[in-house]
Structure 1
């Protein structure tokens, strides 16, 4: 039997060089995207600027954001695609907490 919905967590790192306004806009964009696709229990936890474990494109700091949500299995694939093509996203990882 296919799952109707599952709990997911996504952590993404934004480039802090783009400025506070662009960071806030990206965080709001991804939260709105989750809410538009019918996700429930959307919780965004901004961890802020932290030092990276290793340099990414010669950058040593990143702005970390954790977002938790419940959705159908199709949405995380779309979210991963959008995170991959969005300017300023350095890294992202989506994890299903139910498995």
Structure 2
């Protein structure tokens, strides 16, 4: 059976109580974990942001978005690791859908309408 690879995006919010060094090491831990089980397409560190509502009496969190490609089985393991890692306030992993292609219209029709 062929190994199916699917594109995903995951975003996680880390507690600012971890400190600069703790945040850096935790982000690197997740990058390494994803790289071992798939391929990383893009890493976007949004940095420290104010939360929409307090989580565990915290007002700020460190946001990181990682786009990656892996097998479907890995996402459940990634969620499990998010849940047992100290300092992770929230996490979300979603499957990226391929963008829908709009049907190309005839350019002569566009000129007639104008």
Q: Do residues 76 (structure 1) and 93 (structure 2) align?
A: no
Distance 1:3 1:97, change over 3 A: farther
Q: Do residues 52 (structure 1) and 62 (structure 2) align?
A: no
Alignment size in residue pairs: 97
The TM-score with structure 1 as length reference comes to 0.92
Any runs of at least 4 consecutive aligned residues in structure 1 with deviations exceeding 3 A, and if so which? Answer: none
Unpaired runs of 5+ in structure 2?
99-114
CA distance in 2, matches of 1:34, 1:11: 13
RMSD (Å) for aligned C-alpha atoms: 1.6
Larger radius of gyration: 2
| C-alpha deviation, 1:42, in angstroms | 3.6
Unpaired runs of 5+ in structure 1?
none
Using CA pairs under 8 Å that are at least 6 residues apart, name the structure with larger relative contact order, 1 or 2.
Answer: 1
| Equivalent in the alignment of 2:88 | 89
**Would you say the 8 A contact 2:34–2:40 is kept in 1?**
no
Taking the TM superposition and a 5 Å limit, the aligned residue runs for 1:1-99 are 4-37=4-37, 39-98=38-97
| C-alpha deviation, 1:41, in angstroms | 3.4
CA distance in 1, matches of 2:10, 2:3: 19
Q: Which structure shows the higher helix fraction?
A: 2
Q: Which structure shows the higher strand fraction?
A: 1
| C-alpha deviation, 1:14, in angstroms | 0.1
The TM-score with structure 2 as length reference comes to 0.80
